Amino acid sequence: MKQLFTLIVLLLTVTLSAQETKKHSFSVEKDILWASPKGYDLTMDIYTPNTEKATYPVLIIYHGGGWLINNKSIMDEMSQYIASHSEYVVCNVNYRLLTANNNTTNMNEIIEDALGAVLWTKENISKYKGNPNAIAVTGDSAGGHLAAMVVNAKDNISETGFEAGKLSFTPSYLPPNKTLEELKTSDALAVQAAVLSYPAVDIYAAALGDGVNGFESKSNFFWQMGEAEARGIFGKDINVKDNPNYYKICSPIYTIPKKSDRKLPPQFCHVGSKDQTTTPESIKAYVAKLEENGQSVEYWVYEGRNHAYLDSGSNEFLGNSFEKDAIEPIHKIINFLDKVFYP
């Protein structure tokens, strides 16, 4: 039995090593301006594998950081690794943080940036050998929240957005000469797969906290890290106790449709067993809700890993490093995507 276990471990090690060495070059175009909502420039980096295919499926990445810190650079190593070890065009996206425009950006506007990035990508990605009809979205932590909202909220779009309490979304980018109604009719925001890496799935619960110390309070260290004053994420006149519908419409766990109403694309959710920021329990609850509604989902827990294990570089506070902690999960992500796009 011991010999068999040793053989299995050896085979897994050899397989992973083979995956790591199967590498090719890629081309990258940095800081492509894709939208300027309220005068705030949003950019993305696009990576194209150099494997001589005519076209590739596309993976859109939203970075994490509690909607208050970081930018697309935190996903640079992941983007480079996927572009050099698989056959996907990678779009590494910047979106507005809550701190943008003098700390006046609201949560719904960040979701609108995520939706807009999908529309821009579909409109332009063929220039980079991407297939606009083969799109996957992914993100970690806050970025996982945005990827989930792209999947769940794609039909909840209108020109009014969150004005007058309508609680729908107006994407930050709209293709020229197309109305939102035309985009809805043509299913322009549809994606074919989603990978949610330790996603934040319940904005409502996070804002409630323990009744005193919720996400919007100064006890949330992300506000301090973002060098911003803590505030309501929908503006000064909206709070979680009086306006729970604002928070729930922006929370993936409350916006999952039943399969009989709308079939979602296949999803893969994963989290570290030691994650205290987006806990395995919270991700498992989201997976259970997807399954309850008849949606397709895979789930994986990485033993011993903390939060943010896909981030570039090293994080001494969390005990993570990209080389040590990200490679295995990235290959599992690639394998999941390959089942969808290269069956």
Buried/exposed code over 187-197 (b: 16+ C-beta within 10 A; e: otherwise): ebbebbbbbbb
DSSP state of 137: E
Q: How far apart are CA 31 and CA 182, in angstroms?
A: 29
- Could you tell me which residues are beta bridge partners of residue 46? 29, 91
Q: Which helix (H) or strand (E) holds 140?
A: strand 130-140
Q: Looking at residue 22, what is its pLDDT?
A: 81
Q: Looking at residue 165, what is its pLDDT?
A: 77
Q: Looking at residue 20, what is its pLDDT?
A: 53
Domains of the chain by start residue, with CATH: 23-203+257-341 (3.40.50.1820)
CA distances for 62 relative to 45, 59, 196, 218, 248, angstroms: 11, 10, 10, 25, 21
Encode the chain (343 residues) as per-residue pLDDT tens digits. Answer: 444 433 333 344 444 444 455 899 999 999 999 999 999 999 999 999 999 999 999 999 999 999 999 999 999 999 999 999 999 999 999 999 999 999 999 999 999 999 999 999 999 999 999 999 999 999 999 999 999 999 999 999 999 999 877 899 999 999 999 999 999 999 999 999 999 999 999 999 999 999 889 999 999 999 999 999 999 999 999 999 999 999 999 999 999 999 999 999 999 999 999 999 999 999 999 999 999 999 999 999 999 999 999 999 999 989 999 999 999 999 999 999 999 999 9
Residue 155 sits at φ, ψ, to 5 deg, of -95, -10
pTM score: 0.94
